[in-house]
A and B are shown apart, each in its own frame.
Chain A
Amino acid sequence: MLDDQTVELNLPSKIGYERIAIGGLAAFAKSVGFSSSRIEDLKTSVAEACINAMQHGNKGKPDARVLVAISFQENTLRISVFDEGEGLKAQPKDPDIERIIENLDPPVGFGVFLMKRLMDEVEFNRTSNHRHEVRMMMKLTG
């Protein structure tokens, strides 16, 4: 049973549907008082978490889903993005643009990098019901 301060969005695992999540998230964050610049940070972070869930978590399985749960309590916005995958074996290293430009590294790792830079906290968890969760948090300040 969800409480009256939690919203859940259940998305097809298909690139593009992350925009539904960030549209809902932006409306939610605005309603509780986040600034437009922080809302942009949230949108980018949650879009990247959804894209990773679709591409790497659910690995393109057509019947898999991505669940986004958003809640606001104690001046803190919490977002969890769940997929049906195993999660990260290891944290990806931060992308090194100079190595990418020189074709020494593939152009990957920007999603997790941006989430960690734009949000106050990011965690990657394996849940008890065999799902992978990216949990993000942003405090309302000022």
Chain B
Amino acid sequence: MNQRPNEIKIESHGDIILLDIRGDVTAFSELSLNSAYNSAKESSPKKLLLKFEEAAYINSGGIAVLIQVLAQTKRNNQKIGITGLSDHFKKVFNMVGITKFATIYPTLQDALSAMSAMS
């Protein structure tokens, strides 16, 4: 079974760069997610928002890829938000500690308005 590559749209919302990630998040997402992050980094954003599809399948390989992105955002002093997660993956992200490094927002609008207000 092959996984289709993620389609990741990059959008600017004021001083926030949104990565709109379509598809499942697994070890196979490494290339597309790193590539999107590197493209986003070109504009030196201080705030990054990752939006997932609520029905996405996310496994430990995908979590490892995400943590590597979080490590880069920490090194680059970027604030990072996450939205679009199902209740299950909100719980999983909390269990593995992702919420120590990223804030999870219930909706895209919540994320944009909260992150816009950050200095």
Residue of A16, A51, A95, A103 touching B96 (CB-CB under 8 A): A95
Contact with B along A79-113 (1 / 0, CB 8 A): 00000000000000001111011110001101101
Residues of A within 8 A of B57 (CB): 19, 47
Could you say which of B14-22, B62-70, B111-119 contacts chain A?
B62-70
- Whether the Cβ atoms of A51 and B59 lie closer than 8 Å is yes
Give the contacts of B49-102 with A (CB-CB under 8 A): 57, 59-61, 63-64, 67-68, 70-71, 74, 86-88, 92, 95-98, 100-101
Chain A count of residues within 8 A CB distance of the other chain:
29
Question: With A17-B1, A40-B88 in contact, is A47–B59 under 8 Å at CB?
Answer: yes
Residue of B59, B71, B88 touching A100 (CB-CB under 8 A): B71
Give the contacts of B2-23 with A (CB-CB under 8 A): 2-3
Chain B count of residues within 8 A CB distance of the other chain:
26
- Whether the Cβ atoms of A97 and B98 lie closer than 8 Å is yes
Question: With A14-B1, A51-B60 in contact, is A101–B101 under 8 Å at CB?
Answer: yes
> In the complex, what distance in Å separates the CA atom of A77 from the CA atom of B36?
41
A contacts with B: majority SS: helix
Apart from A17-B1, A44-B88, A110-B96, list 12 A-B contacts with CB within 8 A. Answer: A14-B1, A15-B27, A16-B1, A16-B2, A16-B3, A19-B57, A44-B59, A48-B59, A51-B59, A100-B71, A110-B63, A113-B95
Q: CB within 8 Å of B: which residues of A?
A: 14-20, 37, 40-41, 44, 47-48, 51, 95-98, 100-103, 107-108, 110-111, 113-114, 117
